[in-house]
Each structure stands twice: as structure tokens, then as C-alpha cells.
Chains A and B, each alone.
Chain A
Amino acid sequence: MLKLVIKDLKLFFTDTRALALTFAVPISLITLFAYAFGGAGRSKHEVRPMQLTVVDEDKTDASKNTIAKLDSLKEFEVMQTTLDTAEKLVMKGDEAAIFVFHKGFNDSLSAGKKPFIEVKYDAAKETEVSILTGSLTGSLMGFIGNKFAAANTIKKFDADYPDMDSGMRAGIHAQILRQYSAGDKKDAPKEAFITATPLVAEKENSPGLIQAVSGTAIMMLLFAVVGVGTSMLDEKQEGTLKKLLYSPISPNKILFGKMIYANAVAIFQLTIMFLYAKLVFGLDIFHHLPALVLMILATAYACSSFGVLLASFSKTRQQVQGFSTLIILVMSCIGGSMIPVFIMPDLMRKMAVFSVNYWGIQGFYDIFWRMFPITNTTFLSRILVLLLIGTGMNAIATMMFRKNILNIAE
């Protein structure tokens, strides 16, 4: 028995490619998950700054100072923009929420009224929005809470003692202001600071279901199309590719035939996945059927091209299987198939755009959550990106395959 074990260990360590993949796959995933869920890459007490998209419509010293103070905190990374742009970011799914300092912020604050700050958010990302809002409210308390509380106290005092001598009243006002500026009292109600308005409201399709269906479907599709791509390598190994080349069919036609086959399998698989989600979980797939069909076609095209591309760089089926596991898992991780992109750190969100998964998943969110019509430019831009990815990968795969095919008999 020990001899068998030793023999198998010898074989295992001889296959350096398998050995590398045995460790490379889990190490890559551990690294990505560690970054995604936070903690990795930072010192123990370091806080990862949260992106805070802010719109200043008040444009007073008070609003500017408050935003500047927020930006100076290590918890936040403030980005200022216009209301229109900010709302589009939420609608497109690029931001979970935006914070608007409305006109009259300073006046309300000075008058002891509720300061006019509004969070506009995507209801699909309520968890992220709650964390952000809670954290922001705490910080705002430090900056404007005293001023708000002082104004509120003075207002109450004036109401209670309307007939007081103006000189005495001024003295008491000054004393109240001094006390609050010294930080003695911070009793302004937290909920008074921020009002919340969903820009993308809760819909019939839950975001969790959309995430589960689109994320998993795309990841599994990638595995499936790699298998399809490798059928070209099987043909090469079994001699049928050479025999095809004896026939009057051009090498390009052989390759395009494979690509169309990979596409057909991908379209079929995605369609079945969404039909299953409809039948079992009630995902409303018929709401924007033309958009869904277009998205399935574009995603299938990009994913199948990926499978063909991977096969074109490899010499054997075994090579493809090894590398595809690593690449697909990493791509699925950063692209949002395993973890929703909005809970990832900023760097990983930036990396997400390099994966097919990201564009596919966001496209399906556009259809099922954001309810974009087929003519929506954001939706169409995702379709365009998927088509460009597919075309680019197909072009490279064509060159590689032609080179390999021409080498078959050499």
C-alpha cells in the first residue's frame, strides 16, 4: 500500500502543471475573497475608506465646510458631482447611494430646523446603504450636531420667554452657543439629519435572485463553453481535424462552425437557466423580453468566445481544463458571480470591468432590477461591451487557430 502511495506522490510531483494549479486555484481565490471581504492588504487598525458621492446644492460656507470635514476623515473618500450625474450613477448601478446637501441646508441648520440632507439610493443595495448612512450620520453629528442643537435650544428658549429683555436674551443666546461649541451637549436626534429616498425602488424581482441566477448562470456557462472550445483540440488529437482539412471546406469555415456551435450551446444554456428561474423562483423574465433576448445573445457570444480563445492557446484538452478552472474562478470572483460587486473594495470594483461576468450580470440587473427598456443607453453600452469583448477574443482565437491548424501536418 505504501508503495502505491509513494508512486502516486511521485506522479503528482512530476506533473508540475497540475501541481501548480493545485495550489494556484485556492491561493487565488483565498486572496480575492480576503480582499473582497476586507481586512487583507491593510494594517490592523487601518479603515478602508468608503466612497461617498456628494452633491452640494446649497453651496454655502456651512455646506462646503461640512463636506470638507467629511473628506478629511479617513473613513470617507468624498467625490463631489452634480445631482444629475450622481443620480445616473445610482440608476446605472455604479453607486449604491448619493448624498445631497439641498439648497437651504445652512438656513435650516441656523434656524434649528432639520438640515436638508437626503440620501438617494438603490434599494438593491440596502445593506451597503445602511452602513454608509449610519457611518455618515455619526460623523455629521460631530460637525453640525452642536450647531443644530444650539439653534434648537435657542429657538425653544425664545418661544418659552417671548417677553425677555433683548440684552438679556442676547447674553443667554451667547451662553447657549458657547456651551454647545464646547461640546457639552449633543442631543440632536440622528434620524433628523438625513432623509432617505430610493431612486431604484424595490421590485417584484428580488436583487438576491437576480444576483444568484445571472451570476451562477454566467459562471457555469463559462465552464460549459470551455468544454465546447476544447472539442477542436479533441478533433486535432483524434485526427478528424486533419481529415476535415482534406475536404473542400476552408479552415476558416471549420473554425467558424465551432464558434457557432459554442454560441448555440451558450444561448441554449442561458435560456434554460432563466426559464428555470422563472418556473421555480418566479423571476419575471417576460417583462422586457426583447432586452432579455438581446442580453442572452450578447452574453452567450462573449462567453463562447472566451471558451474558444482559451482553447486556441492550448495544445491539449488537459491544458485547457487546468487553466480554465483558474481563470474562470478568478474572473467570476472579481466579476461578481461569487460576491456582489457593490460589496467589494474599490480596487476590485475597478478590476471587475475586465471580466465578462461583470458586464453580463450588470446587464441582467438592468433588465430585472433597474427595469431599463431595450433603448436605454446604459443597457446598450453593456451589450456593446460584451459584443466587443466577444469580437476581440474571436479575432485572437482565429489567428491562433489558423496558426495551429496550419501546423497540424507540419
Chain B
Amino acid sequence: MISVSNLAKNYGAVQALKGISFDIRKGEFYGLLGPNGAGKTTTISIMSTIVKPGGGSVSIAGNDLLTNPIACKKAIGVVPQEIALYNDLSAYDNLMFWGSLYNVPKPELRSRIDGTLKLFGLYDRRNDKIKTYSGGMKRRINIASALLHHPQVLFFDEPTVGIDPQSRNLIYEVIEKLHNDGITIVYTTHYMEEAERFCDRIGIMDNGQIIAQGTLDELKATAAMKEAIIVTFSNLTDEYLERVCAFWKDLKHTGSVFHFYSSSAKKDLSAIIVQCNDIGLDISNIEIQKTNLETIFLSLTGKQLRD
């Protein structure tokens, strides 16, 4: 459905994209993760045709982006991060306007608007002006306005930033429905749980490059991640420290908090507890840090996702 090949973009002397390539299959849910400045927005902006690429090629639904941008625009729907609606128009009028830009016949458009408003739970407030809506309701209409022309591909740019849990859950349900309906989705987010929950595949970007991509399991394998057993001691002394380091080589400690790294935390947990008891260390807390997208991301980029 989407094919990106050797895509590059410079802003002055800054290389925003350094020749990235990836393919997204039809109906796939593809997550694009990266810290600020990684190149996610530039990638999405190029794919959504509002920024010209500096090099490389992009094909969407079989149409080349440079030679046939209008066909690409018709195939995509974009949900921008900012709420881009006319505050003095009603939700219905907003949707009518945005839908009409894609030449959807009016009777059909009206029917789609009604359906979409019901899907987002805002049908009863369809005639209220947007300025009377809460942030979460506005965000729902913001998403709804990108769906009316039934795009084959949807770009979501952090669609759940700063909204209430109720709206977030409703948006999650809609996104899952769209995915189940077979729409190809490209999703950027800072929320790891969203990426883990929805994405079939994830591309991790840093410094204008895709440094890893694949399913969550593939990324775990790529990162060669170990789990961590985090133990806090209440009576740590220098003598104890030497003896702990003697029985477990792969560890890090900060004060009395120790990270024991293991390829199977479940298997090694009891051995670590027994050894500590034998030494005479009192354990005040134990937790297991499993490998997740957050740790993979940290491992691959050396940065927190919100950096």
C-alpha cells in the first residue's frame, strides 16, 4: 500500500531524513516511533504531500507521490496533532465542509456524517458549535473529518494527546474498528502502550534514520534485550557489595538498588533471593522489569521516547 524508498530531506544544513526506506502492507497498522527531532513528522508530512521530498520516492496506493499527488491525496486521510476545525461552525457543518473537499456526493456525504457522528458518540450534539465542545470531543470530530471520504490509508499524528480517558477509550475503539475494516494505518505516538496495543509493525526512528523495524517480538530479538530483576536492600554494606558482585556478574547498582540482568527473570529470581539470604542481605523490595517497547527504545536509541 505504501512504499518509501531512500527518502531524504534537508532543511538547510540539517539532514532531517537520511534516505529511509520501508514498506507498509495493505491493512497493516504501522507505528512510527522516535524522540522529538527524529524525523517522524517530516516523514508523515512528505507522505501526506504537504512537504516535497529532497530525494527518493514514495508510492501510495500505487500512485507516485511526485507525479500524481492528487491521486495520493484522495487515497489518504490525515489526522493532525493539532485540532484543525472551524470553531464558529457546528460539528455537522465542519464535517460537511471537510467532506465536500473530496467531492463525495451530498446525499452520500450526509449519510456518512450521520454514521460517523454516531460512531464517535456526538450525534446528539451535531448542531452545536465546535467552540462549545470539550478538548476530547473536538479531537473526536478532528478524527471524524478525516474519515468521510473513506480513505485507503490513514495517518494519525498523536491523536490522543491531552484528552480525557473517556474520549481516549472511544478513540481507541474507533481506531480498532478502522483497523478491522482493513484500512491501512500509519500511527505516530509517544504512548508505548498504544503502540504495543495497536501496531502490527513498528519503525523506530532516530536522527533521520529508521534504526529498527518489525513486530514487537522481532524488535526484542533485534535489541537482544535482557530482563531485569530489580532488588532493593535495606542493610547494604561494602562487604555485602563485594559478595553480591561475586555471585552475579551482569548487574548495575545505584545505592542500594541493584539491577540483576537475566535472559529469563522468572528462572533466575529464586536463585538470586537464595544467594542474598545466604549472604545476610535483607531484601526490602523486588520487581521484575520485562522487555517492552520502552526498554527496547531506550536500548536502541539511548533516549527516552519523550526526550
User: Given A240-B84, A410-B51, A249 and B11 touching (CB < 8 A)?
Assistant: no
A182 to chain B, nearest CB (A): 85
Chain A residues 246-280 with CB under 8 Å of chain B are 246-249
Chain B residues 53-89 with CB under 8 Å of chain A are 70, 73-74, 76, 78, 80, 82-87
User: Given A408-B50, A409-B50, A248 and B101 touching (CB < 8 A)?
Assistant: yes
A257 to chain B, nearest CB (A): 11
Report whether A242 and B101 are in contact in the complex, using a CB–CB cutoff of 8 Å: no
Instruction: List the A side residues contacting B48 at CB < 8 Å.
Output: 246
Query: At the interface, yes or no: B98 with Cβ under 8 Å from chain A?
Result: yes
Would you give the 0/1 interface string for A161-197, flagging 1 where the beta carbon is closer than 8 Å to chain B?
A: 0000000000000000000000000000000000000
Query: At the interface, yes or no: B49 with Cβ under 8 Å from chain A?
Result: yes
Query: At the interface, yes or no: B102 with Cβ under 8 Å from chain A?
Result: yes
Give chain B's interface secondary structure class: loop
Query: At the interface, yes or no: B45 with Cβ under 8 Å from chain A?
Result: yes
Instruction: List the A side residues contacting B51 at CB < 8 Å.
Output: 409-410
Chain B residues 83-101 with CB under 8 Å of chain A are 83-87, 98, 101
Instruction: List the B side residues contacting A410 at CB < 8 Å.
Output: 11, 51
Chain B residues 23-58 with CB under 8 Å of chain A are 45, 48-51
Report whether A246 and B82 are in contact in the complex, using a CB–CB cutoff of 8 Å: no
Q: Using a Cβ cutoff of 8 Å, how many contacts connect chains A and B?
A: 46
A334 to chain B, nearest CB (A): 37
A150 and B70 CA atoms in complex are apart in Å by 92
Query: At the interface, yes or no: A20 with Cβ under 8 Å from chain B?
Result: no
Instruction: List the B side residues contacting A409 at CB < 8 Å.
Output: 45, 50-51
Instruction: List the B side residues contacting A243 at CB < 8 Å.
Output: 78, 80, 84, 98, 145
Query: At the interface, yes or no: A245 with Cβ under 8 Å from chain B?
Result: yes
B116 to chain A, nearest CB (A): 16
Report whether B102 and A247 are in contact in the complex, using a CB–CB cutoff of 8 Å: yes
Report whether A246 and B78 are in contact in the complex, using a CB–CB cutoff of 8 Å: yes
Report whether B102 and A246 are in contact in the complex, using a CB–CB cutoff of 8 Å: no
Report whether B45 and A244 are in contact in the complex, using a CB–CB cutoff of 8 Å: no
Report whether A245 and B50 are in contact in the complex, using a CB–CB cutoff of 8 Å: yes
Give the residue of A240, A248, A408 whose beta carbon is less than 8 angstroms from that of B74.
A248
Query: At the interface, yes or no: A84 with Cβ under 8 Å from chain B?
Result: no
Query: At the interface, yes or no: A134 with Cβ under 8 Å from chain B?
Result: no
Instruction: List the A side residues contacting B80 at CB < 8 Å.
Output: 239, 242-243, 246
Report whether B84 and A248 are in contact in the complex, using a CB–CB cutoff of 8 Å: no
Would you give the 0/1 interface string for B14-25, flagging 1 where the beta carbon is closer than 8 Å to chain A?
A: 000000000000
A243 and B70 CA atoms in complex are apart in Å by 14
Query: At the interface, yes or no: A238 with Cβ under 8 Å from chain B?
Result: yes
Give the residue of A238, A239, A247, A408 whose beta carbon is less than 8 angstroms from that of B101.
A247
The residue in chain B whose Cβ has the minimal distance to the Cβ of A243 is: B84
B151 to chain A, nearest CB (A): 10
Report whether B85 and A246 are in contact in the complex, using a CB–CB cutoff of 8 Å: no
Instruction: List the A side residues contacting B82 at CB < 8 Å.
Output: 238-239, 242
A251 to chain B, nearest CB (A): 10
Chain A residues 44-58 with CB under 8 Å of chain B are none
Give the residue of A238, A248, A408 whose beta carbon is less than 8 angstroms from that of B73.
A248
| Minimum-distance CB pairs A-B, first 4 | A239-B84, A239-B82, A243-B84, A247-B101
